[in-house]
Structure 1
Amino acid sequence: MRLVLIMTAMLSLVLVGCSSSGTVYKPAEERGAYGYTETELGSDRYRVTFTGNSRTDKETVNDYAMLRAAELTLQSGYNWFHLVNRDTEGKTRTTGGISAINDFGGHTAVYQRCGLVSCDTVVTQTPSRLSGGVSTSTTRTNYQASLEIKMGKNPMPDDAEAYNAQELASTLRRWIGQKSK
């Protein structure tokens, strides 16, 4: 029984370690994967999307989408962009299961199974009576920000939804650098 609990605890630590970092600012490997994508909607219009993992908060996902919009604007030879539309959605997923089984009066067998090259230690438990298990559940939310932008060259319109691409990119890069320290 102790071995089962120890193995469960070790597996939990490994899984937590693998999932402890937020999404890195990078292009997504495919549509729907973590990172940014863009779709050209016209010569000066794009849809920019950033998808984060469950460790990336909503604010960071929105900032990464805005950073990509600013970079794309500059790469396309424009100075500013106007937000035509913006949307952020969260997808929540709950998972659960039995993390340990209480065993009263069972039998534990430990033996070695050897092949031609190596031996394995095998542990089996045969419970005589099950009293139940410990049920756990985990809720995770992944955020995705989507922006539709229209790019332009100077002069920039006097509008709250118009952004100077160079200034915004510089500010967001500085903020991201401070946050990752």
Structure 2
Amino acid sequence: MKTPTKTLLLVAAAALTLGACATATPYAPAGANGQRGGYAEQRLETDRYRVSFAGNSVTSREQVEMSLLLRAAELTAESGFDWFSTANRATDRDTRYQTIGDPFFDRYRYWGPSWRYYGRRGWSPWGDPFWGRNDFDVRQVDRYEATAEIVMGRGAKPAGDANAFDAREVIANIGSRVTRPM
């Protein structure tokens, strides 16, 4: 194989490897395949559940909320019901800040400009007060988790209830829009 072709293949393989590291939380049970996040549910009564979906730092708020609704719809259909209504619904955002140092400064921090002055004890070093002061980036990292208590019912969904959803319609409309595990 020619050298440019090998180089291109190596670059493509590296890009695919790095891309796999930065993917949204797939729609799967929480903790499946060692992943952080996913969906979970807890049965409260025969027709009432608490459902949640937690995403990672790459999963958008919209993806988290769609995954929650999809899990609620699937759970409703699996339980033999036709519609569900959200009694309590909330999306929490966990924000943290990550600092990333400057690789040039981290490597060459001792090579910065410096001066010396003569004091009572002789010559003393004095570094540049501005060298390395702002040599880092701050990145905001958000993680979302959506939770809802759902009440399930049979027959036609209640008319005029904005929090009521037809389970099969939700599955048909957003089932293909969530990120599935590979």
* TM-score normalized by the length of structure 1: 0.69
1:104 aligns with 2:106: no
1:152 aligns with 2:159: no
Find the aligned partners of 1:29 and 1:92 in 2 and give their Cα distance: 21
- Could you tell me whether the CA contact under 8 Å between 1:22 and 1:55 is conserved in 2? yes
1:132 aligns with 2:132: yes
Q: Structure 1: 5+ residue runs without aligned partners?
A: 1-12, 106-128
Which of the residues 6, 21, 24 maps onto 2:23? 21
Find the aligned partners of 1:163 and 1:49 in 2 and give their Cα distance: 17
Larger Rg, first or second structure (1 or 2): 2
1:141 aligns with 2:142: yes
- Aligned-residue CA RMSD in angstroms? 2.9
CA apart distance, 1:15: 10
Alignment of 1:1-181 (within 5 A): 17=19, 19-29=21-31, 33-100=36-103, 101=105, 102=108, 103-104=110-111, 131-132=131-132, 134-158=135-159, 159-176=161-178
* TM-score normalized by the length of structure 2: 0.68
Find the aligned partners of 2:75 and 2:84 in 1 and give their Cα distance: 10
1:74 maps to amino acid: A
- Could you tell me whether the CA contact under 8 Å between 2:27 and 2:178 is conserved in 1? no
Q: Give the match's secondary structure for 1:25.
A: coil
Between the aligned residues of both structures, percent identity stands at 36
Find the aligned partners of 1:48 and 1:144 in 2 and give their Cα distance: 11
Structure with the bigger percentage of strand:
1
Q: Give the match's secondary structure for 1:83.
A: strand
Aligned residues: 142
Q: Structure 2: 5+ residue runs without aligned partners?
A: 1-14, 113-126
